[in-house]
């Protein structure tokens, strides 16, 4: 007996999933038991390269969800609506769901999880983060015995491609973005990628799983790469750093809270200077990587292609197989008790801390007058605020943006509370010799 699969969406990833289901040879035998029953597409009449029976296609996504032959619903439409409603409709009908939709899960994950728990169905989301990289199931299951200290990652391939080229070629952000759009690596509207929203969706999901409770997506401090200047990438390189868009979720405190207390988390996305020897520093191009730090496992890193038809379809089909395997093991009984690890039920509450209390190193680029005593006065401002300087370097002006007789000074601080650092910057900005705080980036 086969297991009926209904596909919502036949775009890049949907076509990748269909190709696997239509070509089971050489794969796990359970793949051959999956049968594509119906596929929702925008235009059923459009010619497609896949050897797909045209009778399976419909423009009515609800009909796919409702079809009695469809036992597992695979949502690959993307966007918030109608994707969210279709997921909830499938759950209400008692059908398990597989989705790659990070935007929906990051915002409506709690609502969807509650509905799924009530109906006793799984909603699996391996493809929502990191494309083909297995990271969701490892966090839920393989690392389940750990207290997770930190999850940090490069989880947006578009921005990593742009940053890699800026570093390699000294190119300007706008030029590389235009090139990436021409080559099809970046969307025509790149806002979600370059402004950090896509990475924020993904770290919200990873944090929720790593720490066992939902993380409010709208409270995640998010800064993209769209204001990053080529000269900061170049100066960072001269100082031994690479600039990456890093998404981080870090547990504060000792990790053992009072029963019922919410766990304090610092969750954020921003361009970050990584020391060249940092495990994430060597992740280039459109690749993604997620570094998980836990007790007692230590550091484990997951690396690979973060997007694309084949890699994302690999993750989607893994989820379908997980559900199919359970159905086989339980004799296809609907309503069998859920495995709490696979279902990823929340088991505590999380709260996001005020960012001004987080501690980190900083990179600051100042445009100043080039005259005696300037570096001394900048150093005094940092010292008065209790900020320790690791290095302070004056770079030769590059012409653009620097007044004649001006200088460019780059400071790297030691680790310091954000509030103290901001106080020092305010004092520095008030110095008459300082023309501008031209860039300010966090440093690991």
CA dihedral for 18, 102, 44, 2, sign (positive or negative): positive
Least distance to ligand HSE, CB of residue 199, Å: 8
Cα–chain center distance at 106 = 10
> Are the C-beta atoms of 74 and 15 separated by less than 8 Å?
no
Q: How far apart are CA 18 and CA 313, in angstroms?
A: 9
Least distance to ligand HSE, CB of residue 242, Å: 18
Least distance to ligand HSE, CB of residue 156, Å: 4
Q: How far apart are CA 78 and CA 83, in angstroms?
A: 6
Least distance to ligand HSE, CB of residue 362, Å: 27
Q: Given candidates 156, 272, 362, 367, which one binds ligand HSE under the rule CB under 6 A?
A: 156
Nearest alpha-carbon partner for 392 in 379, 367, 410, 416: 410
Is residue 384 within a helix (H) or strand (E), and if so which, with residue range? helix 374-384
Range 177-185 contact pairs with CB under 8 angstroms and sequence separation of 24 or more: 185/157, 185/158, 185/161, 185/286
Q: Give residues 197-236 in contact with ligand HSE (rule: CB under 6 A).
A: 198
Q: Give residues 326-365 in contact with ligand HSE (rule: CB under 6 A).
A: none
Q: Given candidates 132, 157, 197, 224, which one binds ligand HSE under the rule CB under 6 A?
A: 157
* Pair of tokens at residue 302: 């997951």
Least distance to ligand HSE, CB of residue 158, Å: 3
Binding mask 163-202 for ligand HSE (x = CB under 6 A): ------------------------------x----x----
Residue with smaller CB distance to ligand HSE, 116 or 225: 225
Q: Specify the stretch interacting with ligand HSE by CB under 6 A; choose among 17-25, 153-161, 216-224, 359-367.
A: 153-161
Catalytic residues: 202
Q: Specify the stretch interacting with ligand HSE by CB under 6 A; choose among 24-32, 140-148, 154-162, 245-253.
A: 154-162
Binding mask 289-328 for ligand HSE (x = CB under 6 A): -----------------xx---------------------
**Three-class SS of residue 360?**
strand
ω into 323 cis (within 30 of 0) = no
Q: What is the DSSP letter of 383?
A: H
Positions in the binding site for ligand HSE (CB under 6 A): 156-158, 193, 198, 306-307
């Amino acid at each position: 007996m086969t297991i009926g699969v209904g596909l919502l969406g036949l775009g890049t990833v949907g076509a990748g999933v269909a190709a696997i289901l239509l070509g089971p040879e050489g794969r796990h035998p359970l793949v051959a038991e999956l049968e594509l029953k119906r596929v929702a597409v925008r235009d059923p009449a459009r010619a497609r390269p896949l050897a797909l029976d045209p009778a399976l296609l419909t423009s009515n996504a609800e009909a796919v969800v409702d079809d009695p032959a469809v036992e597992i619903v695979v949502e690959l439409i993307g966007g918030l609506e109608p994707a969210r409603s279709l997921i909830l409709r499938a759950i209400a009908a008692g059908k398990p769901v597989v989705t790659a939709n990070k935007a929906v899960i990051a915002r409506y994950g709690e609502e969807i999880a509650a509905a799924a728990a009530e109906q006793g169905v799984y909603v699996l989301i391996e493809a929502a983060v990191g494309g083909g990289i297995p990271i969701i199931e490892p966090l839920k299951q393989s690392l389940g015995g750990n207290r997770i200290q930190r999850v940090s990652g490069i989880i947006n391939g578009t921005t990593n491609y742009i940053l890699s080229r800026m570093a390699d070629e000294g190119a300007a952000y706008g030029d590389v973005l235009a090139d990436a759009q021409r080559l099809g690596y970046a969307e025509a509207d790149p806002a979600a990628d370059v402004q950090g929203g896509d990475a924020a969706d993904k770290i919200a999901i990873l944090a929720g799983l790593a720490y066992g409770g939902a993380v409010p997506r709208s409270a995640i401090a998010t800064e993209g790469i769209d204001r990053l200047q080529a000269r900061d990438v170049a100066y960072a390189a001269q100082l031994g750093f690479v600039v990456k868009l890093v998404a981080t979720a870090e547990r504060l405190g000792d990790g053992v809270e009072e029963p019922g207390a919410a766990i304090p988390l610092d969750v954020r996305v921003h361009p970050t200077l990584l020391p060249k020897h940092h495990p994430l520093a060597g992740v280039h191009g459109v690749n993604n990587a997620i570094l998980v730090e836990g007790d007692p496992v230590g550091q484990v890193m997951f690396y690979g292609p973060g997007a694309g038809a084949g890699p994302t379809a690999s993750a989607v089909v893994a989820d379908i197989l997980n559900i199919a395997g359970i159905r086989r093991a339980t004799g296809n009984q609907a309503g069998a008790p859920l495995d709490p690890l696979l279902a990823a039920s929340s088991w505590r509450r999380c709260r996001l801390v005020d960012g001004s209390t987080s501690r980190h190193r900083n990179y600051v680029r100042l445009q100043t007058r080039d005259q005696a005593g300037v570096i001394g006065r900048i150093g005094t401002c940092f010292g008065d605020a209790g900020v320790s300087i690791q290095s302070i370097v004056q770079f030769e002006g590059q012409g653009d943006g620097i007044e004649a007789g001006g200088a460019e000074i780059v400071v790297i601080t030691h680790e310091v509370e954000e509030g103290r650092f901001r106080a020092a910057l305010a004092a520095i900005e008030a110095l008459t010799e300082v023309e501008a705080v031209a860039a300010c980036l966090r440093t690991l």
